[in-house]
Structure 1
Amino acid sequence: MPLESKLEKLILDEPEILETKLLLLGSQVPTKYGKFIDVLGVDAEGVLHILELKRDRTPRDVVAQTLDYASWVQELGNDDVREIFERTNSGMVFDEAFADRFEGAPVPDDLNSAHVMTIVASDLDAGTERIVSYLNRFYNVPINVMKFGYFNDDGHEYLARTWLVDEATAAPAATSGRNKSTKAAWNGTDWYVAFGDDHSRSWEDARSYGFVSAGGGDWYSKTLKSLPQGARISVHVPKRGYVGVGIVLGAAVPADEARLTINGEERAFRSLDLTRSYRHAQSDSENVAEYVVPVRWLSTVSLDEAFWRQGMFANQNSACKLRNQFTIEEISKAFSIPDAD
């Protein structure tokens, strides 16, 4: 079997033959130097993978070419990665394709924070083996060779694969250049808030009285305390979806001290007719208070009407900057909210 000529098609048709699960950005991806990368992919962590077929090139040529491609890839920013995918996959949305490939995982804020190089070969000459092993083991260059072997048994075809340098000892992915941001741009306005509707808090309370809250430990409350006044928040209830968009009116305050303005009247949070306790088990080792942030709602829905679309951003932090433009755009449409500048 002329395996070398078929490996690229095999990878494109069945990327699972690679040990690392990838979303393929494209094949024959042009660089600014007039060359073409055989296959370029991204993994679930946002690391880019340069896949180059050895074909019949000399060890010097294939290794030099792969390193040259990496010198271009390391300059790619977050927007560049998205543009490459959408240019080579017409009509597809990167965020949706990423979530579909990685079991619903949202796109990480950092795309191309690092990269690795893999030479794909049907056989391996001594020269390529020496060069790649030397770069990987002695200079921590993240380059390796995946060798494929072909076997035929009574009409059944099989592929076997092996790494030149064992992955357990291989050099880690190289950090990409910083002349372009690998982190998604932030518009300076939008924040994400996770609201746990559970035994201690209720979304209907928050929706009715104008607040969000989190607590039960510093890990939960510290990010909520970072919300600035004037921030626009999109509220997500885990396993349900997005339920509201609002403007932060003040700083996070312990529930026992919090006061909210209800129909023009300032009232203590604990005096409200709440359906949950907003309290947590006591502990001497950490601050377990529930913290409350006052919010002016722009638009809300009930839990049963929660909005979700595959590829949207979700996070375990109680609050963080919302950089995912796909999520912002979908929320803006669903809740009839004008886009932030």
Structure 2
Amino acid sequence: MGVQIGLWRVDDVPRRVVPAKMPLEQRLEDIIENDPTMLGSDVMIIGRQVVTAYGSRIDLLAVDIDGGLHILELKRDRTPRDVVAQVLDYGSWAQTLSDDAVREIYLKYCGTNDTRGFDEAFATHFGTESAPDALNTSHSLTVVAGEMDDATERLVNYLATGYNVPINVMFFDYYEDDGRSYLARTWMLDRNTSAATGTTATSTRRQPQWNGQDWYVNFGEELSRNWDDARKYGFVSAGGGKWYSRSLRQVPIGGRVFAYIPKVGYVGLGEVVGEAQPADEATLTVDGTAVPFRSLELLAEYRHTPTQPVPDEDYREWVLPVRWHKTVTRDSAFRKPGLFANQNSACNLRNQFTIDEVTGFFDQA
């Protein structure tokens, strides 16, 4: 059973403030919509009174920083047992939502047809560079209620602790005193246990399908690497350890490269025209002639000298030849909230928002 909250006014003689009845259930929706942090975690509301495929309505739908969905069913009075079946039905519908469907729900909520709205709003809300590659990788079910009968509590506890169903109940007490209104809340189940349940129960959803062509390449500029060289001679590179070079070496000939400088933005769009090779062995085609990489006039060293080398580690810089379609200087790099960014040297680019925005930028550059 949830923890019972008592509230006293202690200006002079202690006086207990008696819980009152919430005027309207809509008022409770308004409060949570305006400040979802009262749910105990940072979430972004993406829908209100969301109509499911079965004709029912979800009071509030939210997303967390990992892309997981949070389904909220609000009951200002004593909650009947059938609310459990109701939220389970919502969950069965929510787990089928694709990334595009989640974005469409947000667009309807915002009243805009701008398909870029979700990604930018997500990045702004959570302070990230982009939305996750995959949305709806998990979901949780939360009933917000003033009271709950014993049978309903038993059902929720049975499902959550016995079968790892990601369900919990947030109890609230509404108070009015001296012209002011207050809301206090507590949870039926320990939230750490509940959060772990939600993660393990529905985390098997696939990432968005990759188009088999587009690659994100992280061109980390430092003393050993310079973007001016890469623009001039046509290449990207990575090295300093197997972890850094391994992913770059997987990018195939014909792959389309989206070059990104960390904390700067997207600076190049091109096509891979050769296999990755160590800098000491690599050749690039310059003005129609094959030229050894080390014979070029380079601004950076493209070498790594670790202070404490590890045996059998590959510290070489690997060079991947690219025919650039368009490049820009660092100062003209393309950057905006919601664009994909990743610490890997290279990875499949699945984020359609980023693909559309970056290609659109370079089409006009």
TM-score (norm 1): 0.93
Partner of 2:32: 11
- Per-residue CA distance 1:250-283 (angstroms, 9 max, x = gap): 1111111111111111111111111111111242
Partner of 2:158: 134
Partner of 2:341: 314
Give yes or no for the alignment of 1:327 onto 2:359: no
Partner of 2:142: 118
Q: RMSD value over aligned CA atoms?
A: 2.0
Q: 2:165 touches 2:201 (CA, 8 Å); kept in 1? A: no
> Structure 1 residue 174: deviation in Å?
5.4
Residue 318 of structure 2: SS of its match in structure 1?
Answer: strand
Give yes or no for the alignment of 1:162 onto 2:186: yes
> Structure 1 residue 22: deviation in Å?
1.3
**Runs (5+) with no aligned partner, structure 2:** 1-19
**Runs (5+) with no aligned partner, structure 1:** none
Partner of 1:107: 131
Partner of 1:257: 281
Matches within 5 A, 1:107-256: 107-152=131-176, 154-170=178-194, 171-173=197-199, 175-176=201-202, 182-256=206-280
Distance (whole Å) between structure 2 residues aligned to residue 46 and residue 337 of structure 1: 32
Identity %: 53
Cα distance 1:261–1:88, how it changes in 2: closer, same or farther (>3 A)? same
TM-score (norm 2): 0.87
Partner of 1:305: 332
Distance (whole Å) between structure 2 residues aligned to residue 315 and residue 337 of structure 1: 25
Give yes or no for the alignment of 1:67 onto 2:88: yes
Residue 168 of structure 2: SS of its match in structure 1?
Answer: strand
Q: Which of 46, 50, 53 is residue 67 of structure 2 equivalent to?
A: 46
> Structure 1 residue 63: deviation in Å?
0.6
Q: 1:75 touches 1:177 (CA, 8 Å); kept in 2? A: no
Partner of 1:284: 310
Q: 2:87 touches 2:141 (CA, 8 Å); kept in 1? A: yes
Q: 2:139 touches 2:198 (CA, 8 Å); kept in 1? A: no
Cα distance 1:143–1:219, how it changes in 2: closer, same or farther (>3 A)? same
Residue 183 of structure 1: SS of its match in structure 2?
Answer: coil
Distance (whole Å) between structure 2 residues aligned to residue 159 and residue 332 of structure 1: 48
Give the length in aligned residue pairs: 336
> Structure 1 residue 177: deviation in Å?
9.2
Amino acid across the alignment from 2:325: L
> Structure 1 residue 8: deviation in Å?
1.1
Distance (whole Å) between structure 2 residues aligned to residue 160 and residue 225 of structure 1: 55
Larger Cα Rg: Structure 1 or Structure 2? Answer: 2
Distance (whole Å) between structure 2 residues aligned to residue 263 and residue 227 of structure 1: 24
Range that drifts further, 279-288 or 51-60 = 51-60
Residue 70 of structure 2: SS of its match in structure 1?
Answer: strand
Q: 2:326 touches 2:362 (CA, 8 Å); kept in 1? A: yes
Cα distance 1:232–1:337, how it changes in 2: closer, same or farther (>3 A)? farther
Distance (whole Å) between structure 2 residues aligned to residue 174 and residue 24 of structure 1: 23
Partner of 2:104: 83
Cα distance 1:28–1:57, how it changes in 2: closer, same or farther (>3 A)? farther
Q: Which of 321, 324, 335 is residue 294 of structure 1 equivalent to?
A: 321
Q: 1:194 touches 1:316 (CA, 8 Å); kept in 2? A: yes
Residue 107 of structure 1: SS of its match in structure 2?
Answer: coil
